[in-house]
Structure 1
Amino acid sequence: MENETQTETTVGRRRRIILFPLPFQGHINPMLQLANLLYSKGFSITIFHTNFNAPKTSNYPHFTFRFILDNDPQDERVSSLPSHGMGAFNRLFVFNEHGGDELRHELELLLASDEDEHVSCIITDALWHFTQSVADSLNIPRLVLRTSSLFCFLAYASFPLFDDLGYLNLADKTRLDEQVVEFPVLKLKDIIKIGFKSSKDPIGQMLASLLNMDAPQRKTIVFFPLPFQGHINPMLQLANILHTHGFKITVIHAQYNSPNPSNHPHFTFIPIDEGFSKIVDQAATNRDGTYFMRYLNESCVDPLRDCLAKLLLDDRETIACVISDVAFYFTQAVADELKLPRLALRTGSMGCVLAYDALPFHSNKTCFCLTKEDSDYEVSVPEYPLLKFKDIAKISINPQGMGDFATNMFNQMKASSGIIWNTFKELEESALETISQDYPTPSFTLGPFHKYFPASSTSLIEQDRTIISWLDKQPPKSVVYASFGSVAHITELEFQEVAHGLANVGLSFLWVVRPGMVIGSDWLESLPENFEERMGDRGRIVQWSPQQEVLAHPATGCFWTHNGWNSTLESICEGVPMICSPCFADQPVNARYVSDFWKIGVFLEDGFERTGIEMTIKRVMMNIEGDEIRERISCLKDKVNVSVDEGGSSFQSLNNLVDYISSF
């Protein structure tokens, strides 16, 4: 064992610095360069080193060298490891696992022998993470030498996130050239080349220890979406947004309409058995929507409570809060019982909340079952003049049930720790002012959620992507896009009227007909005779579409929609004028805002009737009225882009939400 090669003289009590380089050329060089710099400033230098890749002591006669970790090629801990690639990292792992006692022993010997010198500190390579505990135990200050770039440090610090996102074991090799959104200086293929398979394997754990990534522990947010497409989509979009801000995500979900976990490998999914699939097939018969909402709010209580209680017992999880759909009003009581903050996600508009709060659901009026023959059919509702009586007749066939549901929902929204809205301030500013007065809990308007990411893969129905190439062949703003959502049903007669209306207007069209949408039909059996043959390439009918991409396509001229809130927002974001054919629930309210308040669309007042359909499409696609609508919705599109950009209202609201959740 080579010991003292010190040649320097000492005057009085000099200060000694101990340096401990990592035994690889690219780490030894800067460590010895630093040692020379410090020696030139009057410090005595002792170099601790491993026998593996030991520096040549004769090149540094002014230093003292002491070796530790006698891991020569015969050492069984390292002899079988390769000397290149990941073998170097594995060797480093062995050193960190077994070096603590040996380093402590050598330091104790040095401290006992250096009577004339004071050890100021130990400087170790950043990758020698075990040295911190040794230095602490001996009351020696430890400085860390990072021999590579700050950019590399930040990239390594992001590896737990990359692992959660599925980047370390990317299955889709066609994505290799994609830029890493969370770390734009890298591409996905760069992450794979670095070579770690998981942040949870031994090397990943060593990096976590090195970077102290477990302190503080990342907080978990538990999401609980309502099991319908229009509610699952924004919930998972919000989960993605918050995940990129450092939170771990756990999604508790119903068995019915279960999301596909493979689309979100960075989330933890936990199903609960709510029994909903046993009764949901009655939807097309005599049951109204409030029946199903009441069932879910009763059947999910025990499964959700048990699931949350189990998560709270897991020492590896620090649950910050629960975010549940406002329609799951029972979750407030469960969260209170478990002493968890609950944030309520409203997947619909603020205007709809104000309308529901004002409408006379609990009155004895018969306005909820009016027909065209009733004198009040076209009259404005006194409690909410934007709506007509014919609109509220569509909202629910059970006004008492709707009133009870709305009351429960609003009461628990007010009792929550905060309300998250999938909207933006500039769109519903007047409604936001009223909400802020009526609901004392904090409100966060950070929508539209889908603007934070490219088109997401949260659809429960397989999308037909062949239509994009068809759209590519169409002139700008020439195609009528018709889609009535994931839940609505229409009669066979209405279906045929839609077909005739689209055919008679003479424009190209893309029509989404969901399997089972037409009552009594599987798919297209009720089309007029030879309809598809007569339309030829002018019309395309598909079972489902990648809607965000369709609306963003230059060929799309208008959107004939049911006015679900997600579809309405997506149309606004792409500046596409709307034709409004609402079916039920919040859709009539959204449609009135689109047509009569924001004036960015036209209400198809008389339902599905071919003459009215043809005239309405021409108003939007061919008349000057359509140009004015397009100009107004283009202005709203610009406001959306400003709101989500840095400094915008949604951007700031998101930052406020992240800070708020972090404070729990």
Structure 2
Amino acid sequence: MSSSLAVKKQHVAVFAFPFGTHAAPLLNLIQRLAKASPNVIFSFFSTSSSNSSLFWSSSSIENIKVFDVDDGVPEGYVFSGKPQEDINLFLNVATESLKVGLEAAEKEVGRNVSCVISDAFLWFCCEMAQDKNVPWISLWTSGASSLSTHLHTDIIRETIGLDGITGREDEVVKCVPGLSKLKLLDLQSGILTGNLESTFSILLHKMGHTLPKAKAVAINSFEDLDQTIVNDLKTKLKNFLNIGPFHLVSPPLLSNSSDVHDCMIWLDQQKRGSVAYIAFGSVMTLPPHELKALAEALEASKTPFLWSLKDKFRSNLPEGFLERTEELGKIVPWAPQVQVLSHDALAVFITHCGWNSILESISAGVPIICRPTFGDQPLNASIIENVWEIGVKIEGGRFTKDGTLRTLESVLSNGGKRMKKQVEVFKELALKSVEPNGSSTRNFLALKDLVIAQ
């Protein structure tokens, strides 16, 4: 053990959920904590594939140590294509794998853990912390509304019943504070609909029961965005701490400043408030017919566009589209999203409504057109349209040429001015929250104190 490690007094174990975009926000938080607490060692656990994507840079923080854990995939295993197959394999071995990793880290560091931090999905880390007689701190990587639905799942089921919501889809969710403008069809699969006995549905249900035992639950958001829900969650959780938006307080893990495809140069040449930026995250893929319909609508409306679209999907665009729209738009395999959204040429963000994308759009003051697919995205989309009133869901829930034309018109015409005005209000609140005396800054300092107080 090096002398630099020997002088460090505390050891925090950090457990990531290694799928989707979960691990990156957790590491973002740990990097902030590590810089603020240089005398604390943070052991970060995730699968090898997840860690290799997160720690690609040679630059590192000395007091963060990285450990690989088993992904649960047997040698020679052939995936069948079942939904969440990789997640289920990981969860089958996660409890034991994380315990083994923790023991190895304690030996290597030379100190027992003083605190456990985990993604909220990994509710069983509470038991690991209890076994060690140390506090458990959890990070929820999405919004307050989706967290609230999981904490209220039993109440929702008791109130609505489990006989299905067919014919009742438009009933509002009256039994959860702050969600009275949402409908039953907006709730995530696994609460009332879908396979309630799937491994993932059970995991989320158990998470809702376990989170009140956490020393603190941190969230990548800011208090003024969901004040009613935040106030309610503060009565149910010991320390409910809004400490975001993360992208405003620390740089993204993957460099969002690198503009290898000259997106910003192109945006500089466009009129102020004219461009539609299109991106659907790293997980979602549009069906070919929807991708084609979106392209047709952009062309027919003559809307300038910047589209982040992987090269392999270009073949699904209408024949001749790239040539005909060469002057109108720009298609790139990757764009520096935070920078793009902050450019004054932007008029609207067409997105899947992943939480990180929502926060980035709000913080830039850009209205949103929503095309959600799974998880919390439909819930997020309904909140964007019906609660915050900073955007709209795509007409009919799917991209069609005519429906997309009408949706674009509603946002880009005078009718979109109210959305723009409202999102600017939230932008100012987001920026204020991360100021030196802002609520997110104060909450982060409170979280740091909880982590190192042991």
Give the conservation status (yes or no) of the 8 Å contact 2:188–2:376.
no
CA distance in structure 1 between the aligned counterparts of 2:317 and 2:29, rounded to whole angstroms? 39
Q: 2:412 aligns with which of 621, 631, 635?
A: 621
Q: How far does residue 219 in structure 1 lie from its aligned partner after superposition?
A: 3.1
Residue 410 (structure 2) pairs with residue 602 (structure 1):
no
Deviations 1:208-264 (A, max 9, x none): 8xxxx976x253433222123421221121112112202433321112333342425
**2:225 match: secondary structure:** coil
Contact map agreement 2:182 2:383 (CA 8 A) in 1: no
- 3-state SS of paired residue (1:646): coil
- In structure 1, the partner of 2:120 is 326
Structure 1 segments of 4+ aligned residues over 6 angstroms from their partners = 277-280, 393-396
- Aligned AA for 1:356? H
Structure 1 residues 528, 397: CA separation in 2 closer, same or farther (over 3 Å shift)? farther
Aligned residues of 2:144 and 2:226 also touching (Cα < 8 A): yes
What is residue 388 of structure 1 aligned with on the other side? 183
- 1:512 is aligned to 308
* Bigger Rg, which one: 1
1:473 counterpart residue number: 269
Give the direction of change, closer, same or farther, for the CA distance of 1:500–1:464 in structure 2 (3 Å limit): farther
Counterpart-to-counterpart distance in 1, 2:60 and 2:141: 24
Distance 2:358 2:224 in 1: 15
> What corresponds to 1:651 in structure 2?
441
In structure 1, the partner of 2:224 is 426
Q: What residue in structure 1 maps to residue 46 of structure 2?
A: 253
Deviates more, 1:261-270 or 1:483-492: 261-270
Alignment length (residue pairs): 434
| Gap change, CA 1:279 and 1:340, over 3 Å in 2 | farther
Amino acid at match of 1:274: D
Contact 2:139 2:217 in 1 (8 A): yes
Partners in 2 of 1:444 and 1:557 — Cα distance?
Answer: 32
Q: For the residues of structure 2 that align with 1:313 and 1:286, how far apart are their CA atoms?
A: 38
Instruction: Summarize the Cα distance change of 1:639–1:576 in structure 2 as closer, same or farther, 3 Å threshold.
Output: same
Kindly provide the CA deviation profile for residues 578-634 of structure 1, in whole angstroms up to 9, marking residues without a partner as x: 1111111111111111111111111224121111111111221222x3122111111
> In structure 2, which of residues 276, 279, 287 is the aligned counterpart of residue 483 of structure 1?
279
Distance 2:9 2:393 in 1: 48
Q: Percent identity?
A: 26
Residue aligning to 2:93: 299
Letter in 1 for 2:202: D
Deviates more, 1:376-385 or 1:487-496: 376-385
Letter in 2 for 1:586: D
Choose which of 377, 398, 406 in structure 1 pairs with 2:195: 398
The alpha-carbon deviation at position 366 of structure 1 amounts to 3.0
Q: Which amino acid aligns with 2:449?
A: D
C-alpha distance in 2, partners of 1:598/1:421? Answer: 19
Matches within 5 A, 1:99-248: 217-247=8-38, 248=41
The corresponding residue for 1:68 is none
Q: Which amino acid aligns with 1:312?
A: E
For residue 426 of structure 1, report the CA deviation from its aligned partner. Answer: 1.1
1:312 to 103, 106, 124: 106
Q: Aligned in 2, Cα 1:379/1:412: closer, same or farther, shift over 3 Å? A: closer
Residues 371-409 of structure 1: CA distance to partner in whole angstroms, max 9, x if unpaired?
A: xxxx54545456554333443476764244364232111
The alignment partner of 2:348 has SS state of: strand
Q: How much has 1:541 moved relative to structure 2? A: 1.9
Q: AA paired with 1:533? A: E
Higher relative contact order (CA 8 A, sep 6+): 2
CA displacement 1:411-432 (0-9 Å, x = unmatched)? 2212222211111111122111
Matched, 1:559 2:354: no
**Contact preservation (8 Å) 2:395, 2:407:** no
Contact 1:464 1:543 in 2 (8 A): no
- The CA distance in 1 between the partners of 2:133 and 2:310, in whole Å, is 42
Give the aligned residue type for 2:17: L
Q: Measure the CA separation in 1 of the matches of 2:308 and 2:403.
A: 20
* RMSD between aligned residues: 2.8
| Counterpart Cα distance in 2 of 1:280 and 1:319 | 37
**Other-structure match for 1:543:** 333
Q: Which residue of 2 aligns with 1:492?
A: 288
Q: Is the 8 A contact 1:600 1:630 kept in 2?
A: yes
2:149 to 345, 351, 355: 355
The CA deviation at 1:280 is: 9.4
User: Contact conserved, 1:455 with 1:548, CA < 8 A, in 2?
Assistant: no
User: What amino acid is the match of 1:255?
Assistant: S
Cα distance change on mapping 1:571 and 1:315 into 2, 3 Å: closer
Return the offset for 1:508. Answer: 0.9
Counterpart in the other structure of 2:208: 410
2:382 aligned to which of 575, 592, 595 = 592
Equivalent residue for 2:318?
A: 528
